[in-house]
Amino acid sequence: MTMAAAIESRKAGTPAWSQSSRIAAIDIFTDIDSSETVWRSLESHHHISTPYQRLDFLRPWQTLVGIREGLSPLIVVAYDRDRAPLLLLPLVIKQSRGLRSAHFMGGKHATFNMALWNRDFATVASRADLNVLFASLRERAGVDVLAFEQQPLKWRELENPFALLPHQASPNDCPMMTFAPGASDAARISNSLRRRLKGKERKLKALPGYRYQVAADDAGIERLLDAFFRIKPQRMAEQKLPNVFADPGVEDFIRGTCMAPRADGGRVIEIHALECDGDVIALFAGVADGYRFSMMFNTYTLSASSRYSPGLILIRDIVDHYAERGYRALDLGIGSDDYKKLFCKANESIFDCFIPLSPRGTVVAAVMSAANRAKRLVKRSPRLSYLAQRLRYALH
């Protein structure tokens, strides 16, 4: 849809909004480029969203991955009476057997899902405002159900307005840590764990050219990603896990976003690594926004150096790197792996919403909700989790 077409759609389709809502108009875009101007405006400091909702993250994902999965963009922008944008919903439509479900853009590669909010509006947004938003989707986009998964309850200490909707806990929480300004090294990571890691690192420091680095130039990024895409499939095969990085378009998406510069410096996806001459010992990559670093993917060497816990050593370096730069929080991605608990002593609550917008959507929303509750039950039962793992191995 062109910008002119989007504006014409707004004029033709915008109803008389309830006076109880702060939303006065809504645009619906079906191609990303037409929404770029307003999207960029909602990435400023006076707005709130996670780094996974950056245009420079989601546009390449949709272009390289989403389109191959048969997903079509649905960008929803709400405005106040002065035409100031209040929020942007970066969605995709999935069609299956005649049912249209709306999901956050980014798929498996966005750890957190959220709208981009005007900060002032987010602090006062009400159910009436959200009802207006969803009524427009029902009438103009023909959506049967909204499947909004993996949403943080808060971001940068601001409540997520979608928590006002009926919601449930996601199958997994997210281990995270926070940094107090000026806190000591021991306040972030205990002295006992630091001593253990220092002892292991002595073995690695004997390797020629051993170093920790944040990839800064294109050649270094390319070298590290070459190692990642060589090692990661072997690591996933060892665990009998499907290789999501082999899905069509995913490697190009990862490579492109790791190379893409951010306006505030750094890259859209930042890569941290432990290396020595001839080997990438450990690699972690994630997104950063000046306040929080969020881990996306990682791997570690196939060599004998893996016995010295290089992944844990690298996490220590990453924690110190961001704390020293004034960051306030860090997460290691959704999931309850034991290594995450060594660093992250708190669990961030993540929630899902399944909102029906049609009679068929009511049934589907109930099924989606029940399925996610079952997943959460399995994740929290050691016996059920073990049985699920055995089944996965058998199917693999």
Whether the predicted pLDDT of 29 surpasses 70: yes
Residue 286 near residue 311, CB atoms below 8 Å: no
* Beta-ladder partners of 25: 79
Q: Do residues 176 and 348 make contact, with C-beta atoms less than 8 angstroms apart?
A: yes
Give dist(CA 343, CA 222) in Å, integer.
Answer: 29
pLDDT score of 45: 76
pLDDT band at 356 (very low <50, low <70, confident <90, very high): very high
Indicate if 180-327 has the same CATH topology as 3-173+350-395: yes
The answer on pLDDT for 11 being more than 60 is no
Alpha carbons 336 and 174: distance in angstroms, whole number = 7
Residue 263 — pLDDT band, cuts 50, 70, 90?
confident
The pLDDT of residue 367 is: 93
The CA distance from 207 to 306, in Å, is 13
Confidence class of residue 52 from pLDDT cuts 50, 70 and 90?
Answer: very high
The whole-number pLDDT of residue 392 equals 59
Q: For residues 158, 164, 169 and 175, what is the CA-based torsion angle, rounded to 10 degrees?
A: 0
DSSP structural state of residue 110: -
Residues listed for the chain: 396
Q: Which fold has domain 3-173+350-395?
A: Aminopeptidase (3.40.630)
Domain ranges in the chain are 3-173+350-395, 180-327
How many helices (H) and strands (E) the chain has is answered by 13, 18
Q: Does domain 180-327 have CATH number 3.40.630.30?
A: yes
Average pLDDT for residues 189-199, to the nearest whole number? 96
In this structure, are residues 314 and 284 in contact, taking their beta carbons and an 8 Å threshold?
A: yes
Torsion sign across C-alpha atoms 135, 137, 142, 146: negative
Q: What is the reported pLDDT for 391?
A: 59
**Interatomic CA distance for residues 309 and 362, integer angstroms:** 48
Residue 362's pLDDT is 95
Q: Which residue has the higher pLDDT, 347 or 393?
A: 347
Dig out the tokens for 3 from the structure. Answer: 């910008």
What pLDDT is attached to residue 384? 58
CA dist., res. 155 & res. 345, Å (int): 18
The residues with which 375 forms a beta bridge, in sequence order, are none
pLDDT the model gives residue 335? 84
Q: Which residues of 187-204 are buried (b: 16+ CB within 10 A; e: fewer)?
A: ebbeeeeeeebeeebeeb
Render the burial of 145-158: b for 16+ CB within 10 Å, e for the rest: bbbbbbbbeebeee
Show Cβ contacts of residue 54 under 8 Å, excluding neighbours closer than 6 positions.
43, 262, 268, 287
* pLDDT of the residue at 315: 97
Q: State yes or no: pLDDT of 326 exceeds 50.
A: yes
Compare 182 and 383 and report the one with higher pLDDT: 182
The answer on pLDDT for 18 being more than 70 is: no
* Structure token digits, residue 374: 């079952």
Helices 218-238/250-259 angle, 10° precision: 140
Q: What is the pLDDT at residue 385?
A: 61
Angle at 310 between CA 195 and CA 184, to 5 degrees: 40
Looking at residue 4, its pLDDT comes to 35
Name the H helices within 239-280: 250-259
Buried b (16+ CB within 10 A) or exposed e, 350-370: bbbbbbbbbeebeebbeebbe
**Higher pLDDT residue, 68 or 18?**
68
pLDDT digits (tens, 9 = 90+) for 269-294: 999 999 999 999 999 999 999 999 99
Confidence of residue 6 (pLDDT cuts 50, 70, 90): very low
Give residue 382's pLDDT. 63
Q: What is the DSSP letter of 44?
A: S
In the numeric block, the tokens 């699920």 are attached to 388
- Higher-confidence residue: 134 or 380? 134
Per-residue pLDDT, 131: 94
Cβ-count burial of 247 within 10 angstroms (0-12 exposed, 13-18 middle, 19+ buried)? middle
**393 has pLDDT over 90:** no
Within the chain, strands assigned E span 25-29, 47-48, 72-79, 85-96, 99-104, 116-118, 145-152, 154-155, 158-159, 168-169, 174-178, 211-214, 270-276, 279-288, 292-300, 329-331, 346-348, 350-356
Q: Is 290 exposed, middle or buried (0-12, 13-18, 19+ CB in 10 A)?
A: middle
